[in-house]
Amino acid sequence: MGGLPLKGLNGHVRARRGWRRLFVFSGLPDFVHHDVTTPRWSGPPLSIALLSDFHTMSPWNGLPALEALVEQVNALPVDLILLLGDYIPARPTPGLGATPEQTAEALAGLKAPLGVHAVLGNHDWRDDDVARNSDYRESGVLNALTGAGHSMLLNDSIALDHHGFKFWLVGYDSQQGHKHWRDGTARHDPERAFRDVPEDAPAILMAHEPDCFALRNPRALLQLSGHTHGGQANFFGWRPLTPSEYSDRYAYGHVQEDGHHLVVSGGIGYSHVPLRIAQPPEVTLVTLRGDLPETE
């Protein structure tokens, strides 16, 4: 599936229209595509599906919806599927939350040629019962995902071969995944995460919180994040509810700063309030290439 032209993923873009897009409290997500071109990527075009911020909970986005979404994503012509964290509901959100094991089992059905790889989000620590009862030494969400066979990258990396082109996928643990995160306690560790990545090797970074982009790690040619839900409320581009130290600077979409690239997924679920305003749930599709995209 490598080397797909831009239209290979654009043909799968779809979105709800009208009032169904303006006020959203249930239903399948949109499919949104970003094309990222950088001279630092010299391999064949790489197609990626990003799924983030599941917060699996009935009646808004329960297990049947997640299982249907897994089937839809498996039908996409992508090389790689990345899970960007926040699998469990945020406290408090009204509804009936799925267990970590149920969500992990549903996501275990995802398949892609280069695999399915995952990181944890802040709620997978701060709102996880096992984590809270163990003073954040252990995560029930992590246990469930690992038990279901998921490839977890928590301050770790893995080398992947894309049609003979070797690159590295690096994952941070959550930057805010601790009850004392505002006091400077964080779980992400850039030095540890990149410790096995050779100097100047092409590397893609998975980081649940887009605020990590401000650290400007020069070793990552592309950062992929979630966390913000696109602000969950979008008022003509102004996203005042964005959970970020940088306001809505890294709230959503493809961000470029000083030659560095970040893609922030709008995510699938709901946090605290089961309503999105002009910011529908989404599966985010990314095509990474080193040349200019083909015209359609």
Taking only the tens place, the pLDDT of each residue in 165-221 is 999 999 999 998 776 555 556 899 999 999 999 999 999 999 999 999 998 889 999
pLDDT at 261 > cutoff 60:
yes
pLDDT at 104 > cutoff 90:
yes
Q: Output the six-digit token pair for 108.
A: 């275990």
pLDDT score, position 74: 97
Q: Which of 204, 192, 203 is nearest to 156 (CA)?
A: 192
Q: What is the CATH number of domain 7-13+31-289?
A: 3.60.21.10
Residue 10: band (very low, low, confident or very high) from pLDDT cuts 50, 70, 90? confident
pLDDT score, position 15: 83
**Higher pLDDT pick, 146 / 185:** 146
Please give the backbone phi and psi of residue 163, each rounded to the nearest 5 degrees, phi first: 55, 45
Distance separating alpha carbons of residues 240 and 131, to the nearest angstrom? 30
pLDDT at 19 > cutoff 80:
no
Residue 28: band (very low, low, confident or very high) from pLDDT cuts 50, 70, 90? confident
The tens digit of pLDDT for each residue in 164-181 reads 999 999 999 999 877 655
pLDDT score, position 5: 40
Residue with tokens 């944890």: 120
pLDDT score, position 194: 97
Distance separating alpha carbons of residues 59 and 69, to the nearest angstrom? 15
Chain-centroid distance, C-alpha 177: 15
Burial group, residue 259, by CB count within 10 angstroms (0-12, 13-18, 19+) = exposed
Strand, helix or coil for residue 286: strand
pTM over 0.75: yes
Span 59-83, average pLDDT: 96
